[in-house]
Amino acid sequence: MLSRVSEVPANVHILGTKALKNLVSGHSSGFVQSPVKEKPMKIAAITDDGTTISQHFGRAPYYAVLTVENGQIVKRELRDKLGHQHFAGQEAEHAPGQRHGYDPASQDRHARMAASIADCQVLLCRGMGWGAYESMQQYGIRPIVTDIVEIEEAVQAYLAGTIVGRRELLH
């Protein structure tokens, strides 16, 4: 059962039909509606050339970093990436039964590779080791292994929610 309200608290505003129609149609009289803005997002992709996604995380010399705001790419940058060439001669012995990429030296390398994209939420690649994959997750970066070659196409697929993660490409 509804009851009639005789007093309206001071912090409540009652709109007449015209004011309500104006508010709904975007014309406000005294009310200001701020547009809802998404928080900017950064998506990194491993690359050899700034245009395509490399097949191997460890060997790629660069990260292409794309900043996305409100579903649109607003900035592109190319960042140096540490890789196998920087760690030559630093291969560590694996303990019996230990997979590649899980030893302390590999974990240190992964941390150093992740440092230059610490401000990114997503990492696109076309292949990487399980150790690197899990390390990126631990650093708060979501790795996505894809078969899409072009960076722009992969970013658009990610934004549209249609990108397919290809975990079978992990080694």
Q: What is the pLDDT of residues 111-124, one digit of tens each?
A: 999 999 999 999 99
What is the DSSP secondary structure assignment for residue 87, as one 8-state letter?
Answer: G
Q: Domain segments of the chain: what residues?
A: 41-169
- C-alpha 129/C-alpha 99 separation (Å) is 10
Structure tokens at 104: 């302390």
Residues of the chain where predicted confidence (pLDDT) is lower than 70: 1-37, 84-101
Give the global pTM: 0.72
Write down the CATH superfamily of domain 41-169.
Dinitrogenase iron-molybdenum cofactor biosynthesis domain (3.30.420.130)
pLDDT of residue 13: 44
Structure tokens at 40: 């900017």
Which residues lie closer than 8 Å to 129 by C-beta, 6 or more apart? 57, 58, 100, 101, 170, 171
